[in-house]
């Protein structure tokens, strides 16, 4: 007899004999009856066993998470379980097979579990049996397929590019792979397929995409993994708007198919400078307001020495005003910590309620505070202010704004606010290295306005780059690429590469550019991060089948791990056991 899925049995099979296979979730005895909940990927069904059934004792002794095969007759339940789709039926057991007995599990394999993340990652195969996690992985499959189907319908070609590649500077450290083929030489795992997709445009492929695996040896956080998946896309002869249109229409289709959510296009476009000055972030969350406001004009005639001296020294003064809410001391202290952790000396705060002003800066003239509140049409609220360099003010107040979104529960789930960030700096200054580096990557084209002097006036050079942001997360970034070998060579030199380094690392690319290269551009979208947002997950680890922990360790496979000395010798390697002192 053919077998059926647990979650797909319905009252249409009433009176029929069926066979199901799955995992035992509950096993309970009520009087002369046993009730067994058996589940698979599609859901759960209740099994009933009468005490006269020859399998009664065997079923009763079956442990949770054991795999069983059951045949029986579907019947309508007297008491309906409204928590599951087929809660109106049950199966009266005729035959029973224990296919695999389970030991006591180290975690509760239910949506609600008491296991710490360390335990869940160590036993990830059990963690994935929990419906909440299983459904996230299934959602991700639907997400990938919706993206793939849309792009194929727009004449994109899906092409795989190599995993064993060449070490190139793209913003993070490379993972290196030794080889027996060539002594003392290494492959590198790709940080992205960036150069390959540019070469595909030179090859005449015109429209390329792949769902690509990428690898970056960098510090980890909740929305970052050492290996990740991105939608990689490139087009010949595009403008920035061409690529934006393709991505926006793709998201309209994807959101409709996976979430049944209707998006409005086009998405808003915001200049990088506006994002930083008004939101303190290059990835602003537009689900709530709380913008940063310049306060300098209010304090031109202040007698408060701290602010008076700051203005004389060209410092910036900005504030966020929380309307109609007087934050308590615990909330204020939490926000002060976020400001200080983001380089601010401190976070000044003042509250106004029924004409009474209180706060940390009592020497500020009340007329100034009242003026600020009046200009914001408020008679009650909390003023949060930072004085420092413009960069520190924006960064620290941006962090405060982000945390306010959490504290005040302003970040609504199932609300989706996209924004394009444009007019990016071409370079960013590395304080540690004391030099400029590419803000995105060294293949990004300068703007037409700055292309003649981008390498001599690096502080003001602009990029033909665009990021797409969703709910405060950067989910993708792209650019129009450099296609002129002379400009590309200037870019490499601008970020400090010597001539021999350029030839060793990129000589093949510069050579390729001499054979006719079309103007091209593209974008890469982080699918792990996108899936995290769309499933309301707290970490991208929740939407990856077998993730690493926050230290880059796979607790289940216990990797990274040591290898045999002989294997190292085959690769012409030896371990240098450095002292911990």
Angle at 341 between CA 338 and CA 345, to 5 degrees: 95
Strands 269-271 and 418-422 turn out to be: parallel
Tell me the torsion sign for CA atoms 495, 498, 504, 506: positive
Alpha-carbon distance of 111 to 130, in angstroms, equals 5
pLDDT in tens, 348-399: 999 999 889 999 888 899 999 999 999 999 999 999 999 999 999 999 999 9
Alpha-carbon distance of 188 to 371, in angstroms, equals 59
Alpha-carbon distance of 138 to 133, in angstroms, equals 9
Q: What backbone torsions phi and psi does residue 344 show, to the nearest 5 degrees?
A: -70, 145
Alpha-carbon distance of 373 to 375, in angstroms, equals 5
Output the 3-class SS for 172-195: CECCEEECCCCCCCEEECCCCCHH
From its phi and psi, is residue 306 left (phi > 0), alpha (psi between -120 and 50) or beta? alpha
pLDDT at 60: 96
3-state secondary structure of 224: strand
Query: Which pLDDT tens digits describe the chain residue by residue (581 residues)?
Result: 688 999 999 999 999 999 999 999 999 999 999 999 999 999 999 999 999 999 999 999 999 999 999 999 999 998 899 889 999 999 999 999 999 999 999 999 999 999 999 999 999 999 999 999 999 999 999 999 999 999 999 999 999 999 999 887 666 789 999 999 898 899 999 999 999 999 999 999 999 999 999 999 988 776 789 999 999 999 999 999 999 999 999 999 999 999 999 999 999 999 999 999 999 999 999 999 999 999 999 999 998 999 999 999 999 999 999 999 999 999 999 999 999 999 999 999 999 998 899 998 888 999 999 999 999 999 999 999 999 999 999 999 999 999 999 999 999 999 999 999 999 999 999 888 888 999 999 999 999 999 999 999 999 999 999 999 999 999 999 999 999 999 999 999 999 999 999 999 999 999 999 999 999 999 999 999 999 999 999 999 999 999 999 899 999 999 999 999 999 998 989 888 765 54
Alpha-carbon distance of 27 to 6, in angstroms, equals 16
pTM score, whole prediction: 0.92
The maximal CA–CA distance of the chain, rounded, in angstroms, is 93
Give the CA dihedral 305, 306, 309, 313, nearest 10 degrees: -170
Q: What backbone torsions phi and psi does residue 57 show, to the nearest 5 degrees?
A: -70, -40
**H/E element, 399:** helix 390-407
pLDDT at 171: 67
Q: Locate tokens 């993340």: which residue?
A: 117
- Residue 19 structure tokens: 């066979």
Q: Do 33 and 51 form a contact (C-beta atoms < 8 A)?
A: yes
pLDDT at 220: 74
According to DSSP H, which parts of 154-239 are helical? 194-202
According to DSSP H, which parts of 84-130 are helical? 117-122, 124-127
Give how far the C-alpha of residue 240 lies from the chain's centroid of Cα atoms, to the nearest Å: 23
Q: How far is CA 82 from CA 38, 85, 117, 169, in A?
A: 17, 7, 31, 56
- Residue 148 structure tokens: 């793939």
pLDDT at 454: 97
Alpha-carbon distance of 304 to 315, in angstroms, equals 15
Alpha-carbon distance of 263 to 81, in angstroms, equals 36
Per the omega criterion (within 30 degrees of 0), is the bond before 266 cis? yes
Q: How far is CA 322 from CA 222, 288, 325, 361, in A?
A: 27, 11, 6, 17
Alpha-carbon distance of 58 to 416, in angstroms, equals 51
Give how far the C-alpha of residue 153 lies from the chain's centroid of Cα atoms, to the nearest Å: 26
DSSP conformational letter for 446? B
Q: Locate tokens 């239910």: which residue?
A: 110
Q: How many CB atoms lie within 10 A of CB 334?
A: 16
Give how far the C-alpha of residue 215 lies from the chain's centroid of Cα atoms, to the nearest Å: 15
Alpha-carbon distance of 257 to 143, in angstroms, equals 8
Alpha-carbon distance of 421 to 465, in angstroms, equals 8
pLDDT at 58: 97
pLDDT at 433: 81
Q: Locate tokens 């300068």: which residue?
A: 446
pLDDT in tens, 101-127: 999 999 999 999 999 999 999 999 999
């Amino acid at each position: 007899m053919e077998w059926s899925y647990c979650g797909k049995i319905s009252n249409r099979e009433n009176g029929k004999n069926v066979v199901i296979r799955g995992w035992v979730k509950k096993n309970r005895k009520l009087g002369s009856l046993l009730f067994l909940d058996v589940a698979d990927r599609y859901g759960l069904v209740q099994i009933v066993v009468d005490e006269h059934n020859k399998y009664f004792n065997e079923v009763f002794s079956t442990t949770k998470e054991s795999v069983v095969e059951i045949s029986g007759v579907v019947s309508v339940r007297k008491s309906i379980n409204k928590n599951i789709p087929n809660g109106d039926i049950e199966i009266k057991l005729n035959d029973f097979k224990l296919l695999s007995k389970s030991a006591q599990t180290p975690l509760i394999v239910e949506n609600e579990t008491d296991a710490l993340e360390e335990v869940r990652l160590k036993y990830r195969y059990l963690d994935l049996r929990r419906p909440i996690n299983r459904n996230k992985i299934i959602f991700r499959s639907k997400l990938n397929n919706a993206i793939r189907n849309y792009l194929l319908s727009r004449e994109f070609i899906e092409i795989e590019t190599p995993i064993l590649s060449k070490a190139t500077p793209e913003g993070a450290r490379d993972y290196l792979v030794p080889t027996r083929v060539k002594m003392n030489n290494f492959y590198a795992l790709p940080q992205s397929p960036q150069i390959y997709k540019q070469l595909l445009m030179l090859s005449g492929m015109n429209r390329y995409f792949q769902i690509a695996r990428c690898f970056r040896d960098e510090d980890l956080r909740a929305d970052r993994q050492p290996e990740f998946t991105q939608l990689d896309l490139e087009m010949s002869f595009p403008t920035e708007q061409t690529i934006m249109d393709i991505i926006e229409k793709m998201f309209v289709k994807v959101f409709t198919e996976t979430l049944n959510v209707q998006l409005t296009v086009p998405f808003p476009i915001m200049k990088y400078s506006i994002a930083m000055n008004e939101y303190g972030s290059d990835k602003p969350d537009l689900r709530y307001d709380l913008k940063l406001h310049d306060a300098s004009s209010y304090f031109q005639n202040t007698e408060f020495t701290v602010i008076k001296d700051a203005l004389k020294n060209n410092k910036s003064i900005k504030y966020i005003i929380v309307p109609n809410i007087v934050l308590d001391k615990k909330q204020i202290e939490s926000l002060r910590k976020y400001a200080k952790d983001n380089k601010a000396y401190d976070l000044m705060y003042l509250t106004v309620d029924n004409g009474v002003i209180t706060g940390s800066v009592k020497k500020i003239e009340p007329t100034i505070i009242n003026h600020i509140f009046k200009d914001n049409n408020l008679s009650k609220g909390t003023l949060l202010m930072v004085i420092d360099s413009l960069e520190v003010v924006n960064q620290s107040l941006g962090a405060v704004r982000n945390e306010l979104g959490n504290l005040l529960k302003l970040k609504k789930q199932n609300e989706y606010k996209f924004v394009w960030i444009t007019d990016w700096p071409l370079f960013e200054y590395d304080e540690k290295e004391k030099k400029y580096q590419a803000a995105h990557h060294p293949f990004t084209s300068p703007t037409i306005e700055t292309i003649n002097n981008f390498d001599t006036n690096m502080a003001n050079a602009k990029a033909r780059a665009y990021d797409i942001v969703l709910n405060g997360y950067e989910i993708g970034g792209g650019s129009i690429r450099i296609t002129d070998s002379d400009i590309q060579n200037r870019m490499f030199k601008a970020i400090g590469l010597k001539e021999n380094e350029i030839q060793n690392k990129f000589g093949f690319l510069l050579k390729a550019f001499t054979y006719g290269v079309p103007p091209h551009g593209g974008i890469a979208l982080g699918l792990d991060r996108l899936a995290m947002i769309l499933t309301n997950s707290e970490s991208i680890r929740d939407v990856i089948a077998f993730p690493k922990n926050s230290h880059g360790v796979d607790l289940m496979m216990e990797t990274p791990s040591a290898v045999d000395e002989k294997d190292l010798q085959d690769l012409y390697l030896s371990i240098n056991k450095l002292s911990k002192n």
